[in-house]
Structure 1
Amino acid sequence: MEYRTHGDGAGTVVVFHGGHVRAQLALGEDVFTDAGFRVLIPSRPGYGRTPMTAGATVTDFADTIARLCRDREIDQIAAVVGISAGGRTALTMAARHPDLVQRVILQSSVGFLPWPDRRTRLGGRIVFHPRVEAVTWALLRTAIRFAPGPALRLLTRDLSLLPVDQVLAQLSAADRATLTELYASMRSGRGFVADMRPVADCTAHISQPTLIIATRNDRAVPFAHAQSLAAAIPQAELVESRADSHMIWFGSDYPAVAAKIRAFLLADHHTVCGT
């Protein structure tokens, strides 16, 4: 199994990335390391160098990560973080290992409502099929290299309910460059097709405090997923981001969202440490 660690804090946060991403692609980690935590990021099954055999189901992979943590002598995880399609893995791990996982943070997370929509499911099985996805991403990287503007429009269109020109106009030059570099580094492997399979709803077994962050402008994961999770998890708090798209880290209010994440983590840390 492929995984990466970042930071040197005493506490550990485990991040489950979203679709088309792997452990080597960093996104939104600084909020955790800046708060004094070490981050452990595994590539989920089918992504990067993690084979599908590392977790035939979300439940299996959650158990695999719990074993990895204990092998690394991590007896407490300050939070599991689920990003987009990785949200159900984070929730499943929290439900199955409440003695290990202290809190849950969900960012633009898929819940247990039907997902994705029919068009994405049918199209995704074709263009992101394991035998085809390398060609799909090679074509997209070529488009990004030779026509970055139109390519960014194409890739952003499915992430927002707002007009794509409006979304892109709000991005700084640095954010556009970061987002373009992220897209150019994506691969689907066998992971994305697996992500579209149903996962058993475990919300009734989530006892940990849970912070849910989502935006109503998200086309990739409808806001209803966040609402349903907030309604089902007893200690859940829903924070509504004002971001223009699924990529909440590029929203104008992300500094405030990041402050909320840090407060959520540090309150837990202080309680555990008795300070």
Structure 2
Amino acid sequence: MSSADSHGLDEHPTKLAELTAGRVEYRFDRRGPVTVVIFYGGHMRAGLSLGEEVFAEAGCSVLVPSRPGYGRTPVSTGGSAAGFADVTSALCAHLGITEVTAVVGVSGGGPTAVAMAARHPALVQRLVLQSAVGPLPWPDRRTRLGARIVFAPHTERVSWALVHSLVRYAPDAGLRMLLRDLTLLPVGDVVAGLRPQDRARLAALFSRMRSGRGFTRDLRALATTGDSAGHAGQVSQPALVIATRQDAAVRYAHAQALAAALPQAELLESRADSHLIWFGRDWPLIAEQIHAFLKDGPPRTMQRH
């Protein structure tokens, strides 16, 4: 996979698996015997990718299922973080995967990754969380109410069509609009600080996002249950939690709560300007830490926050 592909410039082909628990869309990029499972967050599906080059460079095969309501996975498949963690375990068995080097939870996919590590310790060896929702209320009331209107199943197609047009024909304006809710810094400064290649990759990624029925499902599940609150303390594997203090979408307190709740967790602070830690200037250094974690466990240079 090229670095451009890994930032979502091209949509990847996906497949469907008919499992006992229901249909699930997935992408399985085979590179070798070592497999990483990635659960993306809101508005992402198996055909899109973000920051996967760190795992490709480590020689990992990557399995990406579309969570319930996203892509071609029905909202009824799995039903909860724990339920979809079990579905993904069954998908691994279906594909002949008997060992997962790491399960990765990104943003709203964090609770599912935590649940999979907790519920399937014989399958999963490590847990990596990136800008992940933790065992705290999420999102705030204003965001929840607005999202229920903009990203409701009957309006999200129109909402995203407008977003797609904006980022294609006025990318700077589109990026300012979309990043405004992802950073605690002045959004104009954040957009101005993006390198040209990252600006293009972000615009391309945003131009392909959709919410389906998945985002409103996430809002209901995470607002009412916290979804990962009951699982973090049951995770026996080493965990690496990565987040930035400038994240307005999933506040840094979530990472701190995860690091405190997970028995073998290390918290690695990103210096990124927004929720999108893969576009921070220190991402190459973080990638090195991830490589070390995948190989040996938590790097000694990290400290619990």
TM-score bucket of the superposed structures, by smaller chain: over 0.9
**Aligned mate of 1:149, from 166, 169, 172:** 172
Quick one: distance in 1 between partners of 2:165 and 2:194?
Answer: 22
1:265 aligns with 2:275: no
Who is 1:171 aligned against?
194
Spell out, residue by residue over 1:31-90, the C-alpha distance to the aligned partner (whole angstroms, 9 max, x if none): 111111100001111001111122111111110100111122211100000000000000
1:87-113 deviations in Å (ceiling 9; x for gaps): 000000111111111000000000010
Structure 2: segments with no counterpart, 5+ residues = 1-23, 298-305
- Correspondence 1:111 to 2:140: no
Q: Residue 85 and residue 200 in structure 1: after superposition, are their counterparts in 2 closer, same or farther (change >3 A)?
A: closer
| Partner in structure 2 of residue 73 of structure 1 | 96
Contact 1:4 1:23 (8 Å CA) reproduced: yes
Q: Which residue of 2 aligns with 1:229?
A: 258
- 1:6–1:33 Cα contact (<8 Å) kept: no
TM-score for the superposition, normalised by structure 2: 0.86
Name the CA distance, whole Å, in 1 between partners of 2:268 and 2:228. 24
Opposite residue 64 of structure 1, the aligned amino acid is V
Question: Structure 1's 221 and 56: CA in aligned 2 closer, same or farther, altered over 3 A?
Answer: same
Within 1, Cα distance between the matches of 2:291 and 2:84?
Answer: 27
1:271 paired residue number = none
Which residue number in structure 1 is paired with residue 63 of structure 2?
40
1:200–1:173 Cα change, 3 Å: closer
The answer on 1:208 being equivalent to 2:231 is no
In 1, Cα distance between equivalents of 2:187 and 2:30: 35
Percent identity, aligned pairs only, is 58
- 1:136 & 1:71 partners in 2: Cα distance? 36
Deviates more, 1:65-74 or 1:214-223: 65-74
1:248 aligns with 2:277: yes
What SS class does the counterpart of residue 96 from structure 2 fall into? Answer: coil
Once the two structures are overlaid, the 10-residue window that deviates more, 197-206 or 59-68, is 197-206
The one-letter code of the counterpart of 1:130 is P
Structure 1 residues 200, 247: closer, same or farther in 2, change over 3 A? closer
Of 209, 217, 220, 1:194 maps to 217
Report deviation, 1:200: 4.9
Deviates more, 1:174-183 or 1:69-78: 69-78
Q: CA deviation at 1:174?
A: 0.5
1:146 shift after superposition:
2.7
Give the corresponding residue for 2:205.
Answer: 182
Q: Secondary structure of 1:53's partner?
A: coil
Maintained 8 Å contact 2:112/2:228: no
CA distance in structure 2 between the partners assigned to 1:55 and 1:134 by the alignment: 24
Q: 1:170-194 CA deviation, whole Å, 9 max, x = no partner?
A: 2111000000001010000000011
Contact 1:7 1:33 in 2 (8 A): no
Question: What is the letter of the counterpart of residue 198 of structure 2?
Answer: D
Number of residue pairs the alignment of both structures matches:
268
Contact 1:203 1:233 (8 Å CA) reproduced: yes
Corresponding residue for 1:273? none
Map 1:85-100 onto structure 2 (within 5 A).
85-100=108-123
> Going by fraction, where is helix more abundant, 1 or 2?
1
Partner Cα separation in structure 2 for residue 210 and residue 63 of structure 1: 19
Please report the TM-score for the alignment, with normalisation by the length of structure 1.
0.95
Contact 1:158 1:219 in 2 (8 A): yes
**Aligned AA (1:141):** H
Instruction: Work out whether residues 216 and 223 of structure 1, in 8 Å CA contact, stay in contact via their aligned partners in 2.
Output: yes
CA RMSD for the aligned pairs? 1.0
Q: Which residue of 2 aligns with 1:128?
A: 151
8 Å CA contact 2:78, 2:84 repeated in 1: yes
